[in-house]
Amino acid sequence: MTSPSPPPPSPPSSAGEEAEAAHINRLPDELLLLIFTKLNNASSLCVCNLVSKRFSAVVHQTPSIFLAFPHRQSNDRNENLPKKLFNYLSKSFFRKPPPNKFDGALFQSAVDSLKHFRNVRDIRIELPSFQQDDSIVKWHAEFGRDLNLCVILFATSLHHNNQTNTSIHHQNQSQNQNQNPDTLLTNQLLQSRIASANQCFREATWRQHVLRHVVENHRETLDAAEIRDSSKKGQVVMKGKEQLRDLLDPDVKLPASGYGKLWHVQMLRLPESGRVLQGVTVVAIRRSGENEEEHEDVGVKHLMMKKGCENEMEEDFLLWEVLSHIFQNHAPSRTLNINVNRR
């Protein structure tokens, strides 16, 4: 893309060059904005922002932004950067940033740079996955005035019914191929899955803090905001003005206590997608206020109804399919008491 289009047969005159140079300058803002809208990616938009003053003005009108972080292999510069900035993002009960080489300060500056996009209606953020547990298949968290819950799906193995070897076998490196996967809910498995579920829940809460920060900067324009991880396993979605308003409302406090339930099924055959899951555990964790009565299903059915209405099932189809199957046919095996503040 470095060479310009072939010049006309006559030797290039200066007038011709001027016409070429004027090319994008006469491109209407409308088209430039359409190109930026298609570009979508925050880091590319930041590059365009630097191109020229006119580009800046148009870039900042982009209505929809996708921020993948870190966007390139950021070097090991995180050691030197102050963690202070990051803590500002997570100032309340969740104090410790997620593990790994996550550069909180740089992420903060990336999130902050979004505030220049004055007309943005839709922000999607993608982060590396912080979960170490390979048996996590999907998780989904939802926060709001009436619903505060996180659902996590685990499976020891996952494959298609009719394809044995070309199955979408779950990437479980620690698992010996020749051994039958242990699908029984042993005490050890129970403990490790509860611990991972709690980790997911804390990560969901941290993401919610990040989203609050994002929404604060765009309260007039934003319709939807979400954070997912690059492995596409977990997502936190905030959609609709009402939910976004709740997120900022200081009166809507997150209850400090909660409860959870755990379902375990050794083998689950899903008729619709033709998938077979083994060693399936579903954990649902709900924050609840003092006066709230416990739900048999922790409110997952409410969540599913809501998602069904919004026609969002496709994204997490497997999760919803498992949930509807489990809730129809199985009772919870454990009830968990959760102190959501404890690490």
Partner 1 sequence: MSKKTLTLMSKDKQLFNIEEHLAVQSVTIRNMVKEDGASSVIPLPRVDSETLALVIEYLNRQQAPEEDEDYVKKFVDERGEIPTLLELAQAALDLDIKKLMDAACMKVADLIKDFTLEEVREALRIENDRTPEEEKAIRDEFQWAF
61 sits near partner 1 (criterion: CB under 8 A) = no
What's the Cα-to-Cα distance from 154 to each of 86, 189, 279, 293, rounded to whole Å? Answer: 30, 11, 8, 27
Number of H helices, E strands in the chain: 10, 10
Angle CA(67)–CA(72)–CA(78) in degrees, nearest 5?
95
Number of residues that bind partner 1 (CB under 8 A): 43
Task: Verify binding: residue 339, partner 1, rule CB under 8 A.
Answer: no
**Which tokens sit at 115?**
């505030």
Q: How far is the CB of 25 from partner 1 (least distance, A)?
A: 8
Give one word for 232, left, alpha or beta, with left for phi > 0 and alpha for psi -120 to 50.
left
Name the residue nearer to partner 1 (CB basis): 21 or 331.
21
Cβ closest to partner 1, residue 22 vs residue 256: 22
CB of 65 to partner 1, least distance (A): 12
Nearer to partner 1, 69 or 86 (CB): 69
Considering the complex, state which of residue 49 and residue 281 has its C-beta at the smaller distance from partner 1. 49
Nearer to partner 1, 31 or 195 (CB): 31
Are the C-beta atoms of 141 and 290 separated by less than 8 Å?
A: no
Of the candidate spans 53-61, 245-253, 308-316, 323-331, the one that interacts with partner 1 by CB under 8 A turns out to be 53-61
Give 28 or 99: the residue with its C-beta nearer to partner 1: 28
Binding flag, residue 81, partner 1 (CB under 8 A): no
Show Cβ contacts of residue 171 under 8 Å, excluding neighbours closer than 6 positions: 134
In the list 74, 87, 129, 192, the residue contacting partner 1 (rule: CB under 8 A) is 74
SS3 42: helix
Give min distance, CB of 315 to partner 1, in A.
22
Query: How many C-beta neighbours within 10 Å does residue 305 have?
Result: 10
Min CB(31)–partner 1 separation in Å: 5
Chosen residue from 61, 64, 70, 297 binding partner 1 by CB under 8 A: 70
> Smallest Cα–Cα separation from 225: which of 112, 333, 65?
65
Instruction: Retrieve residue 269's tokens.
Output: 């055959």
Query: Shortest distance, CB of residue 68 to partner 1, whole angstroms?
Result: 11
Stretches 34-42, 92-100, 142-150, 230-238: which one binds partner 1 (CB under 8 A)?
Answer: 34-42
Give, in order, the Cα–Cα distances in Å from 272 to each of 226, 276, 317, 320.
28, 11, 10, 11
- DSSP per-residue codes, 186-247: -HHHHHHHHHHHHHHHHHHHHHHHHHHHHHHHTTTT--EEEEEETTS-EEEEEESHHHHHHH
Binding characters for partner 1, 3-22, by CB under 8 A (x = yes): -xx--------------xx-
Q: Which is nearer to partner 1, 69 or 259 (CB)?
A: 69
Tokens 């709740």 -> residue: 246
Footprint of partner 1 (CB under 8 A) = 1-2, 4-5, 20-21, 23-25, 27-28, 30-31, 34-44, 46-55, 69-71, 74, 106-107, 109-110, 113
